[in-house]
Amino acid sequence: MLSGSPPATFPEPGEPTSNPAVAPDLSLAVWPGLTAVHAIAANGTTVWTARHPCRVCGEAHHFADEYADDLYHRSPDSGSAAFAADGRTVWAHVRGDLLDVPAAPDPSGEDDESIEQWVIFAAADGSVLARTGTDSWSAGSEPLPHLDPAVMGLGIGEGQDGSAVLFGRLGEEGLETTMLAGGDRVLVALGPDHFLTVRHGGTTDLRVHRLADLGVTAELGSADLPEGGPESGWGYDVAPLDGRTYVASTSHHGHAERDIRYWLIDVADGVVRGQVRCPGATGPRLIGFGDGTWLTAGPEGDLALWRLP
Ligand SMILES: [Zn+2]
């Protein structure tokens, strides 16, 4: 049994939140919350807070007792937050216009009526650098930072309404976004010059796209894999090993409950190189670190770190 102490711990803000983002230097954690984005330092100091309309009811709450008795407010649809690769900006997907922070002008020049906005904050003080509407009402969103700190990917899940894939670039004109056409793909990985998607709802194909023009360069069908078959589907967790290879999993209908197999994917050649055996790994979770290693997490929470031979 190994034991150790965490390199940094952060107290949670006092309201329902979804997955926090942590700065690359572990100095700051940012939580997307029910009514605000909260940036908290490792010593517990609140560095900044950006209030926005409540994710559940749209009201501008000031106190938790305004909603504490309501069941829906305890498990709100989640927003998201991520640090750019250099840790200098935080990209948060929030509901509505920020309440207290003067927003930068929308680069489109339109007065945006979007329910949700993508806002770029300076990590140091929470000042708003740019923002734009995402024309969405999400059940959850998943940011993926790019190596270039000016670029971020965002997968937006809208339940049965589909799934959007958005790319943002912070430039002199503000935050400019590009959306993948179709509205039925889930963003699962973002590499230096490419990204990967699976189909929303039926994950039988894994597509490799060029980042430059969003075009498809390869389509990898789970049914075509050895031992695949029509009931096999890709999982949503794809682990980057380096700039061109990934480990991805397939399972029965992609539900990650049985027939879980792991595969090595080469996006430069657009092929599945072969099956990767991870003895004992049976869980759906896969995390890649970009240095040739990846982590599997089993159903009991057991973790294993892997490296290709
Ligand atoms: Zn509310």
List, for residues 40-79, the tens digit of each pLDDT value.
Answer: 999 999 999 999 999 999 999 988 889 989 988 987 777 8
Distance CA 164, CA 136 (A): 9
pTM beyond 0.85, yes or no? yes
Q: What does the pLDDT look like over 175-190, one tens digit per residue?
A: 999 999 988 899 999 9
In the reported structure, the alpha carbon of residue 25 is separated from the centroid of ligand 1 by a whole-number distance in angstroms of 34
In the reported structure, the alpha carbon of residue 168 is separated from the centroid of ligand 1 by a whole-number distance in angstroms of 28
**Distance from the first to the final alpha carbon of the chain:** 25
In the reported structure, the alpha carbon of residue 59 is separated from the centroid of ligand 1 by a whole-number distance in angstroms of 5
As a dihedral over the C-alpha atoms of residue 37, residue 197, residue 175, residue 89, rounded to 10 degrees, the angle is 50
In the reported structure, the alpha carbon of residue 112 is separated from the centroid of ligand 1 by a whole-number distance in angstroms of 22
Does domain 1-183 fall under CATH 2.40.128.630? My reply is yes
Q: What does the pLDDT look like over 72-85, one tens digit per residue?
A: 898 777 789 999 99
As a dihedral over the C-alpha atoms of residue 125, residue 130, residue 135, residue 140, rounded to 10 degrees, the angle is -30
Confidence category of residue 1, pLDDT binned at 50, 70, 90: very low
Structure tokens at 278: 């991870």
Confidence category of residue 119, pLDDT binned at 50, 70, 90: very high
In the reported structure, the alpha carbon of residue 76 is separated from the centroid of ligand 1 by a whole-number distance in angstroms of 9
The domains of the chain are located at: 1-183
In the reported structure, the alpha carbon of residue 68 is separated from the centroid of ligand 1 by a whole-number distance in angstroms of 9
Residues facing 120 on adjacent strands: 91, 130
Is residue 276 scored above 80 in pLDDT?
A: yes
Question: How far are the Cα atoms of 23, 101, 296 from residue 37, in angstroms, in the given order?
Answer: 15, 12, 30
In the reported structure, the alpha carbon of residue 60 is separated from the centroid of ligand 1 by a whole-number distance in angstroms of 7
Q: What is the pLDDT of residue 254?
A: 83
In the reported structure, the alpha carbon of residue 31 is separated from the centroid of ligand 1 by a whole-number distance in angstroms of 17
In the reported structure, the alpha carbon of residue 89 is separated from the centroid of ligand 1 by a whole-number distance in angstroms of 27
